[in-house]
């Protein structure tokens, strides 16, 4: 049965989710997006509604609107930046009425034995192989691939077209840039940023930004 859903964040990421939800609902209605929440409404011309494809999404209020909701409500944090996603999640978890479902979009291929936390987004075209564990609020963007025995920590974001080989571990609050690759058995710690197109071939222990092929820390 179709369930109500509120999206948090009014950026491009949220509009892409609207598109993906529209695609998902074609076969059978899954999510009814009842509105969005942000610090302020996002005005476009004479309306603060946000639309993508055929879904039109009205502004409901700021975080306080959600903190005071009294009935069980599904929310999704449609924000790509890991630290901001964490900040919003930690605030909203103060209201036990808020539920953070995992959104699994259309055209995904997900092995039945994966372990998922809460609030994850598995975007269109994602493929997840056997024995993969995702923490809470992991955001897998369009066309990402995680091969066997992978682990992805809380709040980590994989940008579109990221490919992760087998037995890779990625920590919490990492942002792996567009089109990056990680070879097998590599371990990446927490708070690592990988630039677009990086190829990560060695472990990265400490928080840092890496770029290039093979990926190396950016000198600052």
Ligand X SMILES: CC(C)(COP(=O)(O)OP(=O)(O)OC[C@H]1O[C@@H](n2cnc3c(N)ncnc32)[C@H](O)[C@@H]1OP(=O)(O)O)[C@@H](O)C(=O)NCCC(=O)NCCS
**For the window 97-126, what string marks contact with ligand X as x by the rule CB under 6 A?**
------------------------------
Smallest gap from Cβ 64 to ligand X, in A, equals 29
> Considering beta carbons, is residue 101 or 212 the nearer one to ligand X?
212
> Considering beta carbons, is residue 117 or 195 the nearer one to ligand X?
195
Span 68-87, contacts to ligand X by CB under 6 A: 80
Residue in the block written with tokens 């609207």: 18
Cα separation, 153 vs 135, whole angstroms: 5
Establish if 60 lies at the interface with ligand X (CB under 6 A). Answer: no
Cα separation, 92 vs 86, whole angstroms: 10
Establish if 177 lies at the interface with ligand X (CB under 6 A). Answer: yes
Closest-CA residue to 112 (of 134, 137, 124, 129): 129
Q: Which stretch, 21-29, 105-113, 130-138, 208-216, contacts ligand X (CB under 6 A)? A: 208-216
* Residues touching ligand X, count (CB under 6 A): 14
Establish if 218 lies at the interface with ligand X (CB under 6 A). Answer: yes
Asked if residue 78 has a cis previous peptide bond (ω within 30° of 0), the answer is no
Q: Using an 8 Å Cβ cutoff, are 77 and 89 in contact?
A: yes
E strands along 38-156, which residues? Answer: 50-52, 55-57, 59-61, 73-77, 98-99, 103-104, 109-110, 115-116, 121-122, 127-128, 133-134, 139-140, 145-146, 151-152
Smallest gap from Cβ 14 to ligand X, in A, equals 13
Smallest gap from Cβ 172 to ligand X, in A, equals 18
Name the residue whose CB lies closest to ligand X.
Answer: 195
φ, ψ for residue 43, nearest 5 deg: -80, 130
Span 21-50, contacts to ligand X by CB under 6 A: none
CA distance readout (Å), 209 to 168, 186, 190: 18, 16, 11
Span 129-158, contacts to ligand X by CB under 6 A: 141
> Considering beta carbons, is residue 66 or 193 the nearer one to ligand X?
193
Torsion sign, CA atoms 35, 41, 43, 46: positive
Q: Using CB under 6 A, list all residues that contact ligand X.
A: 80, 141, 159-160, 177-178, 193, 195-197, 209, 211-212, 218
């Amino acid at each position: 049965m179709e369930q109500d859903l509120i999206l948090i964040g009014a950026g491009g990421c949220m509009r892409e989710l609207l598109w993906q939800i529209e695609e998902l609902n074609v076969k059978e209605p899954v999510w009814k997006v009842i509105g969005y929440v942000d610090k302020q409404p996002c005005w476009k011309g004479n309306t603060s509604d946000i639309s993508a494809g055929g879904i039109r999404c009205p502004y409901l209020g700021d975080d306080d609107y959600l903190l005071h909701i009294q009935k069980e409500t599904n929310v999704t944090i449609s924000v790509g930046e890991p630290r901001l996603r964490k900040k919003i999640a930690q605030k909203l978890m103060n209201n036990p009425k808020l539920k953070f479902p995992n959104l699994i979009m259309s055209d995904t291929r997900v092995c039945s034995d994966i372990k998922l936390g809460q609030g994850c987004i598995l975007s269109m075209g994602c493929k997840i192989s056997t024995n993969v564990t995702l923490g809470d609020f992991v955001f897998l963007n369009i066309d990402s691939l995680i091969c066997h025995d992978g682990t992805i920590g809380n709040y980590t974001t994989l940008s579109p077209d990221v490919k992760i080989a087998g037995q890779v571990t990625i920590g919490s609050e990492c942002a792996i840039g567009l089109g990056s690759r990680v070879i097998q058995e590599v371990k990446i710690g927490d708070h690592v940023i990988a630039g677009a197109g990086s190829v990560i071939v060695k472990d990265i222990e400490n928080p840092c930004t890496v770029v290039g092929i093979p990926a190396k820390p950016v000198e600052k």
